[in-house]
Amino acid sequence: MGDSDEELLSRVAGGDPAAVRALVARKLPRLLSLAGRMLGDAPEAEDVAQEAFLRVWKQAPKWRPGAARFDTWLHRVALNLCYDRLRRRREVATAEPPERADEGPAPDRGLEASDTGRRVAQALQALPERQREAIVLCHYQELGNIEAAAVMGVSVEALESLLGRGRRALRAALADLKEP
């Protein structure tokens, strides 16, 4: 399996380029997935992942094993960066509405699976932030309820409530996708 996260962090703190590459290779796919699902925008997700890794490099010399799980801390950092971006989106005021591309399926689309994926992504983006966060952590990041609750800073019961409401909202938004 290789080095533990704590061993890699220790080597990163010492300036070991191989440890940096190993940590990025290990954590980048999940960070991109988390940020992509929270923001619905791949370039923004890449920016969030980059900023999260910058914080890892800054924090590595101060990291104390046992104080917190590295994955939990890294998920929290990425989620906070996502929330910062989501807040900025709401604060942007424009004189004119932006031009919008046709949101209907392209004529050559034809693949029902990609249309379904797009619909699921849209429904996920329409959820309240905390419900979306719970769904993303548990279903897309595959965290257990205890770990997801720790990342979110809520009790397991509160997480389960958020999951239940989020699932119901998704079910309602996607009700027409059910097979006949």
**In the predicted model, what is the mean pLDDT of the chain?**
83
**Prediction pTM value:** 0.62
pLDDT digit string, tens, across residues 108-129: 444 555 677 788 888 888 999 8
Mean pLDDT of 38-42: 89
Distance CA 69, CA 63 (A): 10
DSSP string covering the chain = ----HHHHHHHHHTT-HHHHHHHHHHHHHHHHHHHHHHHS-HHHHHHHHHHHHHHHHHHGGG--TTSS-HHHHHHHHHHHHHHHHHHHHHH---SSPPP----SPPTT---HHHHHHHHHHHHHHHS-HHHHHHHIIIIIS---HHHHHHHHTS-HHHHHHHHHHHHHHHHHHTGGGS--
Q: What is the pLDDT of residues 10-30, one digit of tens each?
A: 888 888 899 989 999 999 999
Q: How far apart are CA 37 and CA 30, in angstroms?
A: 11
